[in-house]
Structure 1
Amino acid sequence: MTSQETRGTWSSREPSSQPMQSVGSMYTRHSAMSTSRHRGTQPKTSYMPPRSTPHPSSSLRKRPDGAKRYVIEDFRQAFERKGMELDTTRKLGRGKYSKVYKAVDRNNNRLFAVKAIDVLELTSDVKNKFLPREISCWRKLKNPYLVSLHAQYEAQNMIFLTMEYGSQGDLLRYVQDNGGIDERRAGQFMSQLMRGLQYMHSKQIAHRDIKLENIILFDNCVKLSDFGFVRQVDNQTLSLTFCGSKSYSAPELLRGIGYNPFLSDVWSLGVVGFVMVTNRMPFDEKKPNNVIVELQRNRQYVIPDSVYLSSSCISSFEAMMTFDAKQRPSSNDCLGLPWITPHIEMASRRSG
């Protein structure tokens, strides 16, 4: 497998005859007011939203309707013929319909993450709309601050997406393990994420599920991942799919009105910035939507007394979390925010 994106079907397995089509309106839940890990609880891992009920680990199973169902171990030899060695001893991440594993390409000793999707588990909405949309948009995204898609393979009822592997896990786990991030380093992360987001928006693609779990740490940068709710749309079209995590959702989503997905992305990234430096969520998702909206309107969040933040930092994430979407800066405008611009200029000087 080369570094360029490829697509193939393994002849050793018959390709699935079922068509692919996204999930409807849904929110994934997040810890209410703090990112601190609870004692005895496993950290959330990144590449996808958490699932509530894990699949059994048996190799070959049958559905009630008699259809065969395969798991990733059944395709180990097929991966080996591609020069890929799978590590299925532990999962990097788990989603409602998919699991992510680590793999090494023995042709070049590069590490990859492999997202295994069980097509038989997908709802018709996911199969026919969201998954094809995810793959189609992801192929178009080539940016140093977005996790890149390397290859797509289909066999039997499984779809495999191989992507960049981030050895340091996701940003939620990092904050859980280390607490709030120093304002300067968080500003570096924000500048990288904003550049990745601005690039997506320049391609008319909105992410719609920005949260700490979907940000992967690499050796020298962070990258946005998990494009399961992406949508390609022009600036004038409003979205009516209320997806993503409630804790990171802009007020217009919580109010259930049509929203500009590009501007809702900016709000969500503002929440990410707040969480990075304070180690807490700005709003408690356990409250009713109408209560959260009023808290958002009045900026009723708490910055811990133990945390000192500069006016540049506070004014920047507050600008991103502007209640009125029409007054909220675009991702391109956000590149000029005082917490973000200095790190972009510094990176430009180093690369120059």
Structure 2
Amino acid sequence: MPPKKTKTKSKSTKGPASGTLLPRPPPKSKVKQSSKMKPKTEPKAKPKSKSSKSTASTGSMKKKKQGKEKEITRYYKLPCDNMKTKEDVVKAFGYTIEKQLDKGGFGTIFIASDNRKGVKVAVKWMDLGIADNDPRMLDTRNELTILEQVRHPYVIRLHCHFIVQIDGKNNMYIFMELADGGNLYKYIQKTGVPDEALGKKYFAQILCGINHMHGYNIAHRDLQNVLLVANDRSISGDYLLRVTDFGLSTTVKKEPASGAIVLSKTVCGTPLFMAPELYEKKKYDAFQVDVWALGVALYLLMTLESPFDFKRPPAELLAAMKGRKYEWPLEKMKEGAVSPGLTDITAAMLTPDPAARKRLIQLINHEWVAAEYAAAHDLSDTLKAEELAGVSSSKSKG
């Protein structure tokens, strides 16, 4: 069942007054395309300062003032007003950054305290270079735009974000929900692979999150990280699974006359999850690239192994993919066997020809996972309704 397109009102408030609003990424960037949703939460408004040191607008910021583009985040050039350090801006937004969790090419992840709500959150810090048109800046704007649009129980929750420029460097801060269960695949490395009954419930949640994105014409294109948030109401009884990392996501266009999908050109993604058409550098249907990645994700979930040997030379790897040369390592599976249903749905996703590969609507109705998907979808509707009711309640009390 396709996702319902509901309009969720943000609980946003204005950030520190001297922050300049940055515009959304241009409709046609080199790698990614943007959506058109408004930004969400920021901290409570601070008294406006009369200081003359407020942030200077760049050319792209001027476009926003002329009403040609919508804002995506706030930008603070330090020193300005009463803020002299990055920590001052973080504090003004109501957070205190604590210990480091992880570090990689994507940036550095820290645990932080939300001082207003008394809860722990995650914050991703990134060095975005010194130029407003730095590719890292454009990529981050794309990720924020996607996160704002695809708010959903099976997508990581965004709290707020802003850029601080100090000593000529742009520093991006993205405050998000803390995934207390960590990464799905690291979790099952510790606990062991699930049996099919539990595997279905995990996979159904991932399907639900990706189907929601596709309902907004957004393809993920890098489905290598799924996070766990403890919730005993989850259909699996332990965690809600959250799709995350939207830096390579893209808005999929359709031909006005025929409605046919406009094929993508950019070769991107994590090699383990990339479809054969990406290795062949062909134009591709970004939705079908996600379907292939879902097939890899399911195989990895049930075996902790990749269906294909990525240590092979590229030509041999591609031949194995196109020849569907993978087997189930039964000795590493929970039940020591694989059911016909699991075999069939995996083969449907790992079909090398994207035109013959099953589409997402067919997967969610596949007999192996249809019941679990329906349960995941129903729970997501319930959680969204409760969130909306909570927003309405807090507004009425205010």
TM range (shorter): 0.7 to 0.9
1:145 maps onto 2:174 in alignment: no
Deviations 1:105-133 (A, max 9, x none): 12212322111121217895623532222
Counterpart-to-counterpart distance in 1, 2:14 and 2:283: 36
User: Relative contact order (alpha carbons < 8 A, sep ≥ 6): 1 or 2 greater?
Assistant: 1
Q: Could you give the per-residue CA deviations for residues 87-114 of structure 1, whole angstroms, max 9, x where no partner exists?
A: 1x222x3232521111121221232211
Q: For residue 221 of structure 1, report the CA deviation from its aligned partner.
A: 1.4
Shift, 1:136, TM fit: 1.5
Deviation at 1:240, TM superposition (A): 1.2
Partners of 1:6 and 1:248 lie apart in 2 by 39
2:338 counterpart residue number = 309
Aligned to 1:224: 243
1:131 paired residue number? 140
CA distance in 2, matches of 1:128, 1:84: 23
Instruction: Give the 4+ runs in structure 1 shifted more than 6 A.
Output: 14-17, 19-25, 348-352
CA contact (8 A) 1:111 1:165 kept: yes
Structure 1 residues 338 and 96: alpha-carbon distance in aligned structure 2, compared to 1, 3 A threshold:
same
Q: Structure 1 pair 347/96, CA: closer, same or farther in 2 (3 Å)?
A: closer
**3-state SS of the aligned residue for 1:150?**
strand
1:300 paired with 2:307, answer no
Q: Percent identity?
A: 27
Distance 1:131 1:7, change over 3 A: farther
Which sections of structure 2, spanning at least 5 residues, go unmatched?
A: 1-8, 33-76, 80-84, 231-238, 255-260, 383-398
Secondary structure of the corresponding residue to residue 330 of structure 2: coil
2: distance between equivalents of 1:69 and 1:247?
Answer: 41
Task: Name which of structure 1's ranges 165-174 and 294-303 shifts more when overlaid on structure 2.
Answer: 294-303
**Contact in 1 for aligned 2:109/2:122 (Cα 8 Å):** yes
User: Aligned pair in 2 of structure 1 residues 122, 275: CA closer, same or farther (>3 Å)?
Assistant: farther
- Is 2:188 aligned against 1:175? yes
Shift in alpha-carbon separation, 1:196–1:5, aligned structure 2, 3 A: farther
1:316–1:339 Cα contact (<8 Å) kept: yes
Alignment pair present for 1:76 and 2:101: no
2:368 aligns to what?
Answer: 339
**Pairwise CA RMSD of aligned residues?**
3.2
State whether residues 206 and 232 of structure 1, in contact with CA within 8 Å, keep that contact through their aligned partners in structure 2: yes
After superposition, the C-alpha distances for 1:307-337 in whole angstroms (9 at most, x for unaligned) are 3121111211111111110111222221112
Partner of 1:79, secondary structure, is helix
Find out whether 1:90 has 2:100 as its counterpart.
yes
1:289 alignment partner, one of 298, 307, 314:
314
Whole-Å Cα distance in 2 between the matches of residues 8 and 178 of structure 1?
42
Shift of 1:176: 2.4
Q: Within the alignment, does 1:241 sit opposite 2:270 as a pair?
A: no
Instruction: Give the Cα–Cα distance (whole angstroms) in 2 for the partners of residues 69 and 98 of structure 1.
Output: 21
Report what 1:210 is aligned to: 223
Match of 2:277 among 252, 255, 258: 252
Q: 1:174 to 1:10 in 2, by over 3 A?
A: farther
**Whole-angstrom CA distance in 2 between matches of 1:142 and 1:101:** 22
User: Are the counterparts in 2 of residues 23 and 125 from structure 1 also a CA contact under 8 Å?
Assistant: no
TM-score by length of 2: 0.68
Determine if contact 1:7/1:152 at 8 Å carries over to the other structure: no
TM-score, structure 1 length as denominator?
0.76
Which residue of structure 1 aligns with residue 66 of structure 2?
none
| Higher-Rg member (1/2) | 2
> Could you say if the C-alpha distance between residues 266 and 9 of structure 1 is closer, same or farther in structure 2, counting changes exceeding 3 Å?
farther
User: How far off its partner does 1:147 sit?
Assistant: 0.7
1:260-275 correspondence runs (5 A): 260-275=285-300
Q: Which residue of 2 aligns with 1:112?
A: 121
Aligned pair count reads 301
C-alpha distance in structure 2 between counterparts of 1:78 and 1:123, whole Å: 20
* Residue of structure 2 in register with 1:53 after alignment: none
